Amino acid sequence: MNKQCIKFDELYSRLMLNRSTLKRAFGSSSSSSNNNNNNKTRKKKTRQKAKKDSNNVITSRKLKILCLHGYEQNIDSFRKKTGSLRRAGKSHVSEFVFLDAPHNALVRDGADEAAGNYAWYLPQTINNDDTIPKFFEDDSQSNDDSSKSSRSWSLPLDESTWHASLEHIGKCFKEQGPFDGVFGFSQGAATAAALCQLQMAKNLKQPLNFIDFKFAIFISGFIPSHGLYIGNEDIDTSMPLSKFNSLHISGKTDEIIKPIRSKALVNKFSNNNNQHVEHSGGHLVPSEKHVRDALKEFLKIQRDNLG
């Protein structure tokens, strides 16, 4: 009887061991199958998400912009002044190219000539014949005090300096372009506006014929009192520059370029694709958040327009 009980117990133990072994084997197979299914599901969701995200990504190339500094500035000083704005637009711009103007700025108040202070155009300093029409760089020819600047030259424009700058910029477009847009401050902004005017001329000679872009950004921009003068090209300078998208940024307390003068430049670009943003400061490159946001959105639109 005892031997039979022992044999029974051994048989029972073997059966239970086999059962446990089979259970583990089937359980492992089931778990492995479940894991494989879960992995497949995760991979499928990942592919679907990637496809969805790709539809929302801007696939066009980034913008390339030519930057024109203000009077008595240079590429180094302008690069520093625009740091905040450039960082705001870096997601849409591949390169900001800075160009020095070709002329030394006039020395103020009898000070020694300072190296590295440049100008895009200058007044005549020798011939003061009263019969020559008076062109002013920084103020209006009218007697309206609301538009007058504290930094007017009250001298005629030296046309040779203007033409030299246009050729200088044309060579930059030829050698470092193409550019999608231009970005100018003060006298550089006035020069950028003239470049827009230039593109409406016909039969331009080299290197001016290389000047070509789609949009412009103006900070403390204005129309010089000599107008958007570009020479003897056959062009109607009274026509609005409606083919260009533009962003105009001006200071409410700017005493150098009064707000009324910046507004006149805004009106020159009379279309639905221009924007005017004011900041609380004076004659400077602002870094206020609403200005940075406006610039970033403007650049996004210009990039989208590339197709």
Give how far Cα 60 sits from Cα of 265, 274, 300, 301, Å: 30, 22, 11, 11
Quote the longest CA-to-CA distance of the chain: 143
186 is catalytic: yes
The pairing of strands 181-185 and 215-219 is parallel
CB contact at 8 A, 139 and 264: no
What residues pair up with 98 in beta bridges, in sequence order? 67
Select which of 226, 254, 262, 279 is catalytic: 254
Select which of 147, 149, 186, 262 is catalytic: 186
Report the alpha-carbon distance of residue 183 to residue 206 in Å, rounded: 22
What residues pair up with 247 in beta bridges, in sequence order? 217, 275
What residues pair up with 278 in beta bridges, in sequence order? 250
Is residue 162 packed enough to be buried (19+ CB in 10 Å), middle (13-18) or exposed (0-12)?
Answer: buried
Quickly list H helices, the chain: 2-56, 75-81, 83-89, 159-176, 187-198, 259-268, 289-304
Give how far Cα 159 sits from Cα of 162, 253, 257, 268, Å: 5, 31, 22, 23
20 is catalytic: no
Phi, psi for residue 99 in degrees, rounded to 5:
-130, 130
248 is catalytic: no
Q: Classify 278 as helix, strand or coil.
A: strand
* Catalytic center residues: 186, 254, 283
